[in-house]
Structure 1
């Protein structure tokens, strides 16, 4: 089931996230986050944006949220989107279900534009975004450095 996140979910969400920190290029964090730092991040997001989880039998299998894209006030109706699925559970439509619900919530809150920032290459995330009508609007070459390689980032945009 998909439900709103609570701060009690932090340990499970942190385990999902830190796997990607340590093993993938999908996030530009290099060191695992602490539980206290992750709770601060969650609290900040929850105070302004939708934050949801996909749960089965008390096990969180994925999560998604909106967040501030840029700090200037004129950007307040633009939101960055994030979705993570527990490692090993891809292909089960968890990300698709989370993204559908997140986009519904963002549209209800009258955001005008949603942006997905994707480390490239990343066919699965590109396909997920394009399934929902996101269009590629930018490609930045070699803007991140992780695991001794330079990484590109692309932006996909959806307007509500």
Structure 2
């Protein structure tokens, strides 16, 4: 079941996200966060009236997807950045597709121009997911993030809504 996020989901979302912080370069955050920080992030997205969705099965949160304001300046107000994260054992089951399908459905009903996805490279699964939703690669920055004593590239994908 996919539904809108609730503040009660902050702990489960934090657990999912901290895996990516601690074990991957998918997120460039380097210090695991606490549920209170995730609560603030959820509240910020709600304040901006942007969608944040969770996918749960039998009361267990398996993943989440959300849109955030891409940049703070007013002229960018019609562009969002999208993200999706799954519980670490849930990849390859189509859950990311389900979440993005629901997220993009909501985004297309809003007064928005474009959605952008930022992907640490290489990450073929994420690239495939974003391209499945019509996103095209529009930028590539070499060695701009340093995590786990290694430099990582970042690519940007975009779709007009």
Equivalent position of 1:82 in the other structure: 83
In terms of mean alpha carbon deviation, does 146-155 or 38-47 score higher?
38-47
Residue 56 (structure 1) aligns with: 57
The corresponding residue for 2:156 is: 155
Q: CA deviation at 1:110?
A: 2.1
Unaligned 5+ residue runs, structure 2?
none
1:92-132 CA-partner distances (Å, limit 9, x unpaired):
11000000110110111121100000000000000001111
Cα contact 2:51–2:107 (8 A) shared by 1: yes
Question: Runs of 5+ in structure 1 lacking a partner?
Answer: none
8 A contact 2:10–2:36 mirrored in 1: no
Where 1:111 maps in the other structure, the secondary structure is coil
Q: CA deviation at 1:45?
A: 1.1
DSSP-derived class of the 1:89 partner:
coil
Which residue number corresponds to residue 29 of structure 2? 29
Tell me how far 1:16 sits from its aligned partner. Answer: 0.2
Alignment of 1:5-154 (within 5 A): 5-48=5-48, 49-154=50-155
**CA apart distance, 1:38:** 1.2
Which aligned runs of 4 or more in structure 1 are off by greater than 6 angstroms?
A: none
In 2, distance between residues paired with 1:64 and 1:46?
13
Per-residue Cα deviation, 1:43-85 (whole angstroms, up to 9, x for no partner): 1012221000001011000000000111110000000001001
When the two structures are superposed, what TM-score results if normalisation uses the length of structure 1?
0.98
CA distance in 2, matches of 1:31, 1:139: 25
**What TM-score does the superposition give when structure 2 sets the normalisation length?**
0.98
Paired residue secondary structure (2:84): strand
